[in-house]
Amino acid sequence: MVSPGNRPWTTTQGSVAKAISYLSSDNDDESWSRFDNYHRSALQRLEASGADFALIASNTAHHRFETIVQGIRVPVVSILDAVAKESFRIGARQVLLLGTAITMRSPKFREAFAKYRVEANGPLDEMARSMTADLINDLQRGKTSRAAKRLGRIARLSLGQFNQQSAVGLVCTELPLVFPKMRTLGIFEYEGILYINANVVHINAAFDFAIEPS
């Protein structure tokens, strides 16, 4: 709900900032309670409104997906399951995960891909992880100059850690902004690198779920 005079974007920024403020430490499961409850409460409101299904339009939140959806009766379409399934479908047996620090190191992300026999990891190189974080910060501030070249450098620096057919997973809301002409594509190639836009794959999975016969 947006109060009179407020812009939807301003409200969205405030919601994102609140969710970020609740991020916590993997060494303390209890410390995630505010983060989990924040997202669970949103799902409960959707459930109470009569929604047939829901999805969490955030990659990082899926690090806590299993805990967040506990007690939620309405189906929740997982971005991890959708992207892992799509990776397997296109023959990518190894996927480089580029996103927030939590996303790139998340064991939950790796486990989700492993269910489809796909190996997924963030960059092993610390410099590549730092470069990814810097790029995301710049994109959040609207700085897109040379963003495609920066992302390509990160990808090439990191893809060497794989030895099978691989793809780069853009598992972050901001990273697909690097490729405005491909913003509606779930899978695309740019300068010889195969990319997976997790946001679009998630949207497609939600659409498929919506039209499935009950």
Q: How does pLDDT run across 63-85, given as a tens digit for each residue?
A: 999 999 999 999 999 999 999 99
19 has pLDDT over 60:
no
Model confidence pTM above 0.85: yes
Give percent above pLDDT 70 in the chain: 85
Virtual torsion, Cα 97, 207, 46, 110, nearest 10 deg: -20
The structure tokens listed for 166 are 């691989």
Cβ atoms of 196 and 186 within 8 Å: the answer is yes
Give CA–CA dist 211/164, Å, rounded.
35
Mean pLDDT of the chain: 89
Distance of CA 116 to CAs 83, 96, 160, 168, Å? Answer: 10, 15, 22, 16
- Structural domain boundaries of the chain? 8-77, 79-203
pLDDT of res. 133: 96
- Rounded Cα distance between 206 and 200, Å, is 10
Q: Give the three-state DSSP class for 76.
A: strand
Closest CA to 55 of 211, 214, 181, 199: 199
CATH code of the domain made up of 79-203: 3.40.50.1860
Residue with tokens 């026999």: 117
Identify the CA nearest to 172 among candidates 86, 63, 59, 87: 59
Residue 163 has a pLDDT of 87
